[in-house]
C-alpha cells in the first residue's frame, strides 16, 4: 500500500486493528495496511495504531513516523487514559491510567 507498510516483526496482536479499523486489516497471520488515511481523523487513527504497536511495525515508506502525531496518553471516557506504546513484554496488552479522586492513580498493565 502506498505510503505505509507493516514490517515482518508484527506478532498479530490485534492492537493496530483496534485503533485503526478499516485502515489496517489482517492477512496471512499479520496486520497489513489496507489503504492510506483519507482525512485528518483517519490520519489520527492510523498514528494511534503506529504509536501503540508493541513492535513498532507500522512504518511510513519515507522513514520515521511523525512524533508530533503521537496521541498518547489519550483520554477515554470518565477521565480514564489509555497509555499506548504497548509493550512486547505484556503480549501487546493495552495499558490504562485511572486517576483517583485522592490524587493517586492506578495503572492497569504497563506500556513499554
Give residues in contact with ligand SF4 (CB under 6 A).
6, 10-16, 31, 53-55, 57-58, 92
> What is the number of the residue whose Cβ is closest to ligand SF4?
16
Say how far residue 86 (Cα) sits from the centre of its chain: 7
The beta strands (E) that lie in 2-110 are given as 4-6, 24-27, 30-33, 58-60, 74-75, 81-82, 96-99, 105-108
CB of 105 to ligand SF4, least distance (A): 25
Closer to ligand SF4 by CB, 32 or 97: give it: 32
Closer to ligand SF4 by CB, 22 or 79: give it: 22
CB of 95 to ligand SF4, least distance (A): 14
Longest dimension (CA), the chain: 49
Amino acid at each position: 500500500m502506498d505510503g505505509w507498510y507493516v514490517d515482518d516483526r508484527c506478532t498479530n496482536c490485534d492492537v493496530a486493528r483496534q485503533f485503526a479499523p478499516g485502515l489496517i486489516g489482517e492477512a496471512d497471520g499479520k496486520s497489513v495496511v489496507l489503504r492510506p488515511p483519507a482525512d485528518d481523523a483517519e490520519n489520527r487513527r492510523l498514528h494511534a495504531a503506529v504509536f501503540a504497536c508493541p513492535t513498532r511495525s507500522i512504518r511510513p515508506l519515507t522513514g520515521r513516523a511523525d512524533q508530533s502525531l503521537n496521541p498518547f496518553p489519550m483520554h477515554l471516557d470518565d477521565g480514564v487514559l489509555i497509555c499506548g506504546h504497548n509493550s512486547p513484554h505484556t503480549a501487546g496488552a493495552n495499558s490504562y491510567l485511572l486517576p483517583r479522586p485522592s490524587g493517586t492513580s492506578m495503572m492497569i498493565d504497563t506500556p513499554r
